[in-house]
Amino acid sequence: MLRWTVIFLIIAIVAAIFGFTGIAAGATQIARVLFFIFLVLFIISLIRGRTP
């Protein structure tokens, strides 16, 4: 999932460079949502991994 976040972040940066602000904003939002989902799942896996 972190891989998809990086891909959408790169798409957002490239779109912003070329002036496609609508595409850049959409890709940025997708990257942000995926990052937070990844972060929550990572924290849950850390907590579950510590309990016997």
User: Who's near 39: CB < 8 A, 6+ residues apart?
Assistant: none
Structure confidence at residue 36 (pLDDT) = 92
As averages over each run of 10 residues, the pLDDT of the chain (52 residues) reads 82 86 86 90 86 63
User: Who's near 1: CB < 8 A, 6+ residues apart?
Assistant: 34, 37, 38, 41
Structure confidence at residue 1 (pLDDT) = 67
How far is residue 5's CA from residue 12's CA, in Å, rounded to a whole number? 11
The pTM of this model reads 0.67
Structure confidence at residue 23 (pLDDT) = 83
Q: Tell me, what DSSP letter sits at residue 20?
A: -
Structure confidence at residue 40 (pLDDT) = 92
Structure confidence at residue 52 (pLDDT) = 61
